[in-house]
Homo-oligomer: A and B are copies of this chain.
Amino acid sequence: MSRYDTVTFLSDYGRVDEFVGVVHSVIRSIAPHAGIIDLTHDVAPYDVRAAGLVLARSAQYLCPGVVLAVVDPGVGTDRRPIAVEVGGGQSVLVGPDNGVLAPAVAMVGGASRAVVLDDEQFHLPSPGPTFAGRDVFAPVVGNLCAGTPFEALGTAIDPLSLRPALMNLSRIEGDGVEGEVLWEDRYGNLQLNIDPDDVEAYGERITVRLGDRIRMARRVRTYAEIRTGELGLVVDSYGMLALVADRASAAGELRIGAGDPVRLESAPDDNGADGVTVAVELGTRRQP
């Protein structure tokens, strides 16, 4: 009768407070057989977009089961707590209806069913209105794992009524492609929202425009091909283009991060200009 035995848990709770542990405990008290995988809890507070991207990058690697995503700036308002069934019931995503689940739902082929979590028999009584992770989402996840049918959790809603994620798309503009940084990872690699195919015709050397600044990047297959001080452009382990440095932070070097605009262009033939540009930029960077 146990429907799910893996919970994947993502939030902006951080690890300093006990929020994550308490959610684990509530789930385990209802569904002791379920294993809980912490995807990350260090999404920046309230950053729904970043959390949605974490789920989208991870989706194809996650164990089937329940995915709990709690990044919830609208807690206590009329935003709906929801559960979304995907893969014909193979997995259920649980969280606020604020777009955080949308990219992952799209990645796995869309929702088959959705409910608002309004049946309070599956919630904990709360002394206050503000800890939905503990009082609504955790007990719902525990009950799902323990065999409560999806449709029992609350009122069915049209999956098409769910709030979409707002993601900027890259676009071809003149002789280049304009996009933005999707993600700056631990190592300072900068994943872009630009498809490798869009720069396929550009050759090995690429002009990178960051607002008024210009840098040169070289297309490489691995980090190790990048020379010291050089900027590389790789197809990263998610199949997206990324600006990278060799054992150094491209984000730190370029002083940009998630959300910043990036324009890629085919580099001019004149190799001399490229060397000069890099030199100037490095000089600027080293000033305080």
- A residues whose Cβ falls under 8 Å from a Cβ of B: 5-6, 8, 10, 12-22, 24-26, 28-29, 32, 35, 37-42, 45-46, 54, 57-58, 61-63, 73-77, 124, 126-131, 134-135, 185-187, 221-224, 234-239, 247
Add 7 more A-B contacts to A6-B32, A77-B224 (CB < 8 A): A10-B21, A12-B186, A15-B41, A76-B221, A129-B221, A129-B234, A129-B237
The CA-CA distance from A186 to B253 in the complex, in Å, is: 29
CB < 8 Å neighbour of A21 from B39, B129, B135, B247: B39
Residues of B within 8 A of A187 (CB): 45
Majority secondary structure of chain A interface residues (helix, strand, loop or mixed)? loop
Q: Is the pair B40, A134 in contact by a Cβ cutoff of 8 Å?
A: no
Q: Is the pair A73, B22 in contact by a Cβ cutoff of 8 Å?
A: no
The CA-CA distance from A37 to B18 in the complex, in Å, is: 11
Q: Is the pair A222, B6 in contact by a Cβ cutoff of 8 Å?
A: no
The CA-CA distance from A205 to B5 in the complex, in Å, is: 48
CB distance from A50 to the nearest CB of B (A): 10
Residues of B within 8 A of A75 (CB): 222-223
Q: Is the pair A58, B18 in contact by a Cβ cutoff of 8 Å?
A: yes
Q: Is the pair B21, A40 in contact by a Cβ cutoff of 8 Å?
A: yes
Residues of B within 8 A of A224 (CB): 74, 76-77
Instruction: Given A28-B63, A186-B45, answer yes or no on A57-B18 (Cβ-Cβ < 8 Å).
Output: yes
The CA-CA distance from A8 to B29 in the complex, in Å, is: 12
The CA-CA distance from A134 to B60 in the complex, in Å, is: 12
Q: Is the pair B5, A25 in contact by a Cβ cutoff of 8 Å?
A: no
Q: Is the pair B40, A25 in contact by a Cβ cutoff of 8 Å?
A: no
CB < 8 Å neighbour of A237 from B6, B21, B58, B131: B131
